[in-house]
Homo-oligomer: A and B are copies of this chain.
Amino acid sequence: MTRIFDDPAEFADDQLAGFLDLYADRVRGVHGGVVTHRGDEPQVAVVVGGGSGHYPAFCGTVGPGLAHGAVVGNIFTSPSAAQAYSVGKAADQGRGVIFSFGNYAGDVMNFGIAAERLRAEGIDTRIVIVTDDVASAEEEQKRRGIAGDFTVFKAMGAAAARGLGIDEVERLGRAANAATRTLGVAFSGCTMPGEDEPLFTVPEGHLGLGLGIHGEPGIRDVEMLPARDLAALLVDEVCKNAPAGAPKRVGTILNGLGTTKYEELFLLWRHVAPRLREAGLEIVEPEVGELVTSLDMGGCSLTLMWLDDELDPLWRADAYTPAYRKAAAPLAPLREPTPDELAEAEAVVTAPEAGEAGRRLAGTVRTALAAVESTIREHEHELGRIDAVAGDGDHGRGMLKGVTAATARVRESGDRVGGGWLLQQAGQAWAERAGGTSGVLWGAALEAFGRHLGDTADAYPAGTVAAGVREFASTIQQLGGAQPGDKTLLDALLPFVDDLERRVGAGEELAPAWAGAAEVATEQAGRTADLRPKIGRARPLAERSVGTPDAGATSMGLVVTAVGAVLESEPC
């Protein structure tokens, strides 16, 4: 939805005024649009245009190597003949003017009238109409112009920049249009400034195949497709419409229509590129981004320009405009990574062999992690429900992802490694997969625990384990920056460590000491219901969560209880 405007009726003029202020050092405003400055050598002037609402079409493409002027109409409305005339006249450098635009009735008429007027004044004026939209008509000359505008403009802009004459630039423009095909899909309609309702809609869960950039009817509505199938549809349909005798190289544009974001286009490109290559095509300097948009319309289009030896260098040529910049110079070819770098990047940490005690500890770690995985899996949804009161409800899911990754990593390790090393591996895997804050805390804490235990000891007395657990807790305190009473996992963990240290200090064996401390932890986790979170929560959420235990403290209680049960049967 278009949200920023003053008087909706003045949207096109107002946005142009801002554009001209922004790029005052590059383009000059004239009645009806913008022109670029003239260089030392006069060029044939390529003047493009059409309605507003399609940025960077049209004024975003004015500059060295591309258009010399752009005529700016109202939103989705052809500029008037007087506007086209004015911009054409201002852009002319004495070598003639080529008007180029998409094939829409209003544009054809208005640019046609303007061309007549310019010719009447002795300015040689030609017209190159873009007709790339394969969905809009069977007959090529009846097709509408969409993102193929860009390939045609670029071919002519590059030809003009080389100093070619108007006959040549016009011929190359027509050749570029004849070599260009586009198919678009729309996911949602666009809304005109000041309107509450979209100009048109696409049925929910569907895409409009071939829908025009002003909402012109397409071929048909299709159920929404996964990216892979959408890519196949676009590639296959465009290729099916290839010009006769087309060469194998293709300049390629995967164009976003407005609200379809770059990351979505990259994701789609992941499927488009291999499918084009499978079709035997060589992709030349592809562009993935917004080149011809349609306000806030959701959708995208695929454009191919089949490149012969004439069009190829024009497509590759440099350009520098507000919205499109390309320079061959700054791109040193990518150096291959050296063998050393490759080895570094792929280095697998080799597990050190551990002694007797370390291997025994490893066994306990394996059993304990499996027990933790099992208890977290059992309580996943409960943890999620608790978390949803004050957070985003993903605590159970995050914990499960973390512990599952940790047990998988531990399973992959051979049986000669030690428990200290295993805990470090488990921590790394946990942090990597669980994501979020609790993931990194659990991961780093397990790593610190494992580092403290090490694999070279002759034995792991209860005091060593308790000190390791203290290390576990300190890591979380340091990384997370929370204090006891902040309604975090520390509210269960710190009482647990304190009690464990006290019991072990008093001479208790590890297993009963751990089990006793786990009871304290669980009890304290329940008490977090009375607390008010102080960190990382907006106030309304803080209010809401009073009376609910903290999900992190709850899961901490579950974990230490599960480990306690393992230690009773499998002392380390």
CB distance from A369 to the nearest CB of B (A): 19
Q: What copy number does this chain have within its complex?
A: 2
Known: A82-B428, A83-B432, A110-B440. A334 touches B25 (CB 8 A): yes
Known: A261-B2, A263-B52. A21 touches B435 (CB 8 A): no
B109 and A55 within 8 A (CB) = no
Cβ of A544 < 8 Å from any Cβ of B?
no
A2 and B264 within 8 A (CB) = yes
Cβ of A165 < 8 Å from any Cβ of B?
no
Cβ of A515 < 8 Å from any Cβ of B?
no
Q: Mark A72-99, 1 if CB is under 8 A from B, else 0.
A: 0110011011110010011000000000
| Chain A 290-330 residues near chain B, CB threshold 8 A | 290, 293, 295-296, 298, 300, 318, 320, 323, 325-327, 330
B90 and A262 within 8 A (CB) = no
A15 and B335 within 8 A (CB) = no
CB distance from A412 to the nearest CB of B (A): 16
Which listed segment binds B: A31-39, A354-362, A463-471, A545-553?
A31-39
Cα-based distance from A37 to B331 in the complex (angstroms): 10
B5 and A264 within 8 A (CB) = yes
Cβ of A332 < 8 Å from any Cβ of B?
yes
CB distance from A265 to the nearest CB of B (A): 7
Cβ of A259 < 8 Å from any Cβ of B?
yes
A345 and B437 within 8 A (CB) = no
Residues of B within 8 A of A318 (CB): 330
**Other-chain residue from B90, B187, B270 in contact with A15 (beta carbon distance below 8 A):** B270
CB distance from A49 to the nearest CB of B (A): 14
Cβ of A529 < 8 Å from any Cβ of B?
no
CB distance from A308 to the nearest CB of B (A): 23
B110 and A28 within 8 A (CB) = no
**Other-chain residue from B327, B332, B441 in contact with A325 (beta carbon distance below 8 A):** B327
B444 and A15 within 8 A (CB) = no
| Chain A 255-276 residues near chain B, CB threshold 8 A | 258-271, 273
Q: Mark A8-30, 1 if CB is under 8 A from B, else 0.
A: 00010011111101101111101
Residues of B within 8 A of A432 (CB): 80-83
Cβ of A56 < 8 Å from any Cβ of B?
yes
Cβ of A245 < 8 Å from any Cβ of B?
no
Cβ of A408 < 8 Å from any Cβ of B?
no
Cα-based distance from A265 to B536 in the complex (angstroms): 32
Known: A3-B187, A270-B17. A56 touches B262 (CB 8 A): yes
A441 and B538 within 8 A (CB) = no
**Other-chain residue from B258, B288, B323, B440 in contact with A109 (beta carbon distance below 8 A):** B440
Cβ of A512 < 8 Å from any Cβ of B?
no
Cα-based distance from A230 to B540 in the complex (angstroms): 26
| Chain A 425-446 residues near chain B, CB threshold 8 A | 428, 431-433, 435-437, 439-441, 443-444
Some 21 contacts from A to B, beta carbons below 8 A apart, are A3-B187, A4-B300, A5-B264, A6-B228, A16-B266, A18-B266, A18-B270, A26-B331, A37-B332, A39-B332, A55-B266, A77-B436, A83-B432, A89-B345, A90-B344, A217-B540, A262-B290, A262-B323, A325-B325, A325-B327, A327-B327
